[in-house]
Structure 1
């Protein structure tokens, strides 16, 4: 059970961490989400999530989306490259059901893994 946690060390915590990813990112794009990744020096991937109030109006929708993203990351973290990953929400994201978002993230994790590990 311990290896599938979403602990503090698996998160991007400071604005500096996010800025580093935005500077030289490898993208995986869909109409609702953009995943940006940059190799890190850790032995594991780290996740940051940005979903703005402008794109997803209601707080309970933003919280639901973040929960699903974190859960998907937690389940797929062992297949992901050693990278800092930022998930950026776009307009229309709140229209997706949990299952649709989960399957979209599965495709984007695979695309990101292929691009980070040539």
Structure 2
């Protein structure tokens, strides 16, 4: 349920079907012809320098995706974050991510 190679990421970035941004978190989505939604996470080291912060954000993104994947449209999703996200608490970040996934429900 992950986007694994650069071709899959480029496919989503090249022709996104839908783009949603809330609080410096952007979700690009592209239709796939599979039976499950897939997730890719793009956090640039240039944006968030501390590795433990990148890992924390990735963990929260994966967890919120896992909790809502059964309701999501069958698409490829790529989550891109900016440096301001690093300063958000886990509760607020969790709420923002759930709101982003809610916009992609069937």
Using the size of structure 1 for normalisation, the TM-score is 0.85
Aligned position for 1:23: 14
More helix by share: 1
SS in 2 for 1:56: coil
Q: Does 1:11 pair with 2:5?
A: no
Deviations 1:37-64 (A, max 9, x none): 0010100100000011111110000001
| Deviation (angstroms), 1:91 | 2.1
Moved over 2 A (4+): none
Q: Does 1:44 pair with 2:20?
A: no
Could you list the runs of 5+ residues in structure 1 that have no partner in the other structure?
1-9
Q: Does 1:85 pair with 2:85?
A: no
1:40/1:82 contact within 8 Å kept: yes
1:28/1:112 contact within 8 Å kept: no
How many residues are paired up?
A: 105
Q: Aligned partners of 1:27 and 1:37: how far apart in 2? A: 6
> RMSD over aligned Cα, in angstroms?
1.0
